Amino acid sequence: MSKGSFTSALNMPDVPMGKLPDHLEVQRTRVVCKADAPIHTEGIQFSGAYAAVGVDNSNPLDKFKRDFKIDVIRLTKDEMEFDMIGIDAAIANAFRRILISEVPTMTIDKVFMVDNTSPIVDEVLAHRLGLIPLDADPRLFEYMSEHDVPNERNTIVYRLNVSCEKGSPRLTVKSDQLEWLPDGSKLHEVAPSYPGEQQKTYTSFSGSQLEVSRRALGVKHKDITIARLGPGQTIELEAHAVKGIGKVHAKWSPVATAWYRMLPEVILLKEIKGEEAKKLVKKCPVKVFDIEDLGNGEERAVVKSPRACTLCRECLRGESEEQIELRRVRDHFIFTIESASALPPEVLFKEAVEVLHEKCDRVISELS
């Protein structure tokens, strides 16, 4: 390099301005999963990180609006898989966290034991009842605060009254034996002094709950075992369900779980041919690779379905370590929601967005 012509290290004539060099681009948009540990997991947040090369790292709203995309891959009654593309991990994670802990559901919270001679002790029975998902839309109900009286807008009442006759075989009590009481509690706080006396019960419903919900408020799964009764054993109880969120207790969590993974990307750094290619195809347990016939009797390995990659790193084991790179796309999330509540997963997701929205509103109003 001659003395007079000073060249900046940043002056890279082969890289056009406004575009990052390849290795930096990979670093910016991908998590690279090496054999020993993943690298570049955090991502680069600072909008001006690449200003020197003339690359804007910010994500302005219009760009986000343009690029953001949701593709629903699979949707059943209780499960949904969708791709959320063009969003930061923090936001995707926020949805996940809200789904798990902040979207409300209705769940049994108070149990009034009248009789329980089953081998399951009262506390455990109540705990088990709490974990049964109910088929009640939480949007129809209000939260019950400490001083509220239980009414048809904040409490759902169920009754369980089963007994196993003496001499009959053992009885399994299933969740469908929980009977919804639309008119509220039938238990009297004190025993009535004459038959038919109007007595205070544990709820004060002003009308039938049928007006609140057109659907019967049953349980979501009818075959959950609550207890098993031996001959002569009885369970009689009333269970009151209220609205709550998963942060307080996992029983209010609307999802079995909700999670995402980043879209896998499998790159063949070198061409892999012949025997080696066959070996590679065999190595992958989920058939990510395939063989392509190059004609002339030559075969080479190609990446067929990178999405299936479970990141077992089997393909990196041994001599092929330098030939393959496993990556994750930083802003492409394969989101899965397994609903375990009355609401279908797509509604749950909308609810989660709503919760986040409200939070943002609150922040804005607090700040202004």
Partner 1 sequence: MVSQQDDMVSQQEDFGANPNLLAAPIKSPVDKFQLLPAFLKVRGLVKQHIDSFNYFVNYGMKKIMEANALHKVTDTIYLRYINISVGEPYVAIDNIKLTPQFCRLSDRTYSADISVDIEYTDGKGQHPTRKTSVKIGRLPIMLRSCNCVLNGKDETELAKLGECPLDPGGYFVVKGTEKVILIQEQLSKNRILIDIDGKGRITASVTCSTHEVKSKTVFFMDKEKIYLQLNQFVKPIPIMVVMKAMGTESDQEVVQMVGRNPRYGDLLLPSIQECSSERIYSQEQALDYMDAKFNFFKSCSIQLFITSFSTLKEGRAKSILTDVFLAHVPVKEQNFRPKCIYAAVMLRRMLDAILNSDTFDDKDYVGNKRLELSGQLVSLLFEDLFKTMNTQAVQRMNYAMGQSNRSGALDFSRYIVTDIITLGLEKSISTGNWDLKRFRMHKKGVSQVLSRLSYIGALGHMTRISPQFEKTRKVSGPRALQPSQWGMLCPCDTPEGEACGLTKNLALMTHVTTDEEEGPLISLCYSLGVEDLAHLSAEEIYANDSYLVFFNGLILGKHTRPHTFANAMRRVRRSGKIGEFVGFRTFDDFLHDGLIEYLDVNEQNNALIALYEHEAGEIDRSEITHIEIEPLTLLGVVAGLIPYPHHNQSPRNTYQCAMGKQAMGNIAFNQLSRADTLLYLLVYAQRPLLTTKTIELVGYDKLGAGQNATVAVMSYSGYDIEDAIVMNKSSLDRGFGRCIAMKKQTVVRENYGGKVSDIIVAPQRDKDGALIRKNMQILGADGIAEPGQIVRNNDMLVNKKSPLNVDKDLKTRTYKDTPAFFKGVEGETTVIDRVLIYTDNNEKMPIKFIIRHVRRPELGDKFSSRHGQKGVCGTIVNQEDFPFSERGICPDLIMNPHGFPSRMTIGKMIELLGGKAGVSWGRFHYGSAFGEPSGNACKVDDISNALIQKGFSYSGKDFLYSGILGTPLQAYIFMGPIYYQKLKHMVLDKMHARAKGPRVMLTRQPTEGRSRDGGLRLGEMERDCLIAYGASMLIFERLMLSSDPYQVQVCQKCGLLGYYNQKLKKSFCSMCKDGENMATMKLPYACKLLFQELQSMNVVPRLKLTEA
String of DSSP letters for 92-149: HHHHHHHHHHTS-EEEEEEEEEEEE-SSS-HHHHHHHHHTSPB---GGGS----TTPP
Written as one letter, the residue type at 84 is M
Q: Which is nearer to ligand SF4, 290 or 314 (CB)?
A: 314
Q: What are the C-alpha distances in Å from 16 to residues 7, 62, 173, 263?
A: 16, 25, 71, 28
Which residues neighbour 153 within 8 Å (Cβ) at sequence distance 6 or greater?
141, 142, 212
Residue 128 or 240 having the CB closest to partner 1: 128
Query: In the complex, what is the shortest distance from the CB of residue 310 to ligand SF4, in angstroms, rounded to a whole number?
Result: 5
Give the nearer residue to ligand SF4 in terms of CB position, either 35 or 114: 35
Taking CB under 8 A as the criterion, which residues in 265-294 touch partner 1?
A: 285-286
β pairing state of 179-181 and 299-303 = unpaired
State how far Cα 168 lies from the chain centre: 43
Residues 130-169 that bind partner 1 (CB under 8 A): 131
Partner from partner 1, ligand SF4, none contacting 315, C-beta within 5 to 8 A by type:
ligand SF4
Q: At its nearest, how many Å lie between partner 1 and the CB of residue 140?
A: 25
Check: CB of residue 81 under 8 Å from CB of residue 334.
Answer: yes
Q: Shortest distance, CB of residue 247 to partner 1, whole angstroms?
A: 7
When the beta carbons of 240 and 328 are compared against partner 1, the nearer one is: 328
What letter represents residue 313's amino acid?
R
Yes or no: say if 92 and 84 are a contact pair by the CB < 8 Å rule: yes
311 binds partner 1 (CB under 8 A): yes
**Binding residues for ligand SF4, per CB under 6 A?**
266, 283-284, 286, 288, 309-315, 326
In whole angstroms, the minimum distance from the beta carbon of 296 to partner 1 comes to 34
Nearer to partner 1, 299 or 331 (CB): 331
Residue 288 binding result from ligand SF4, partner 1, none, given CB thresholds of 5 to 8 Å by partner type? ligand SF4
Q: Give me the least distance between CB of 105 and partner 1, in Å please.
A: 13
Phi, psi of 333 (to 5 degrees): -110, 130
Produce one character per residue of 190-221: b if its CB has 16 or more CB atoms within 10 Å, e if not: eeeeeeeeeeebbbebeeebeebbeeebbbbe
Spell out, one character per residue from 313 to 332, where the chain touches partner 1: x when CB under 8 A holds, - when not: xx--x----------x----
From the list partner 1, ligand SF4, none, which binds 260 (C-beta under 5 to 8 Å, kind-based)?
partner 1
Pick what 140 binds: ligand SF4, partner 1, none; C-beta below 5 to 8 Å, kind-dependent. Answer: none
Read off φ and ψ for residue 259, nearest 5 degrees. Answer: -155, 170
Q: Tell me how far apart the alpha carbons of residues 68 and 62 are, in angstroms, rounded to a whole number.
A: 10
**Interface pattern 230-269 for partner 1 (x via CB under 8 A):** ----------------xx-xxx-x---xxxxxx-------
The neighbour count for residue 234, using CB atoms within 10 Å, is 15
Please give the size of the binding site for partner 1, defined by CB under 8 A: 50
- List the one residue out of 28, 61, 32, 63 whose CA is nearest residue 46: 28
- The option from partner 1, ligand SF4, none interacting with 266 (CB < 5 to 8 A, set by class) reads ligand SF4
In the complex with ligand SF4, the residue whose CB is nearer, 255 or 315, is: 315
Burial of 135-169, coded b for 16+ CB within 10 Å and e otherwise, reads bbbbebbeebeeeeebbbebbbbbbbebbbeeeee
Q: Are 81 and 73 in contact (CB under 8 A)?
A: yes
Instruction: State the minimum distance, in angstroms, from the CB of residue 97 to partner 1.
Output: 4
Residue nearer to ligand SF4 on the CB measure, 189 or 319: 319
For partner 1, the binding residues in 92-121 under the rule CB under 8 A are 92-94, 96-97, 100-101, 113, 116, 119, 121
Q: How far apart are CA 50 and CA 57, in angstroms?
A: 7
Structure tokens at 256: 């079995």
> Interface residues with partner 1 (CB under 8 A)?
31, 33, 36-39, 41-43, 89-90, 92-94, 96-97, 100-101, 113, 116, 119, 121-124, 127, 131, 246-247, 249-251, 253, 257-262, 285-286, 310-314, 317, 328, 336, 338
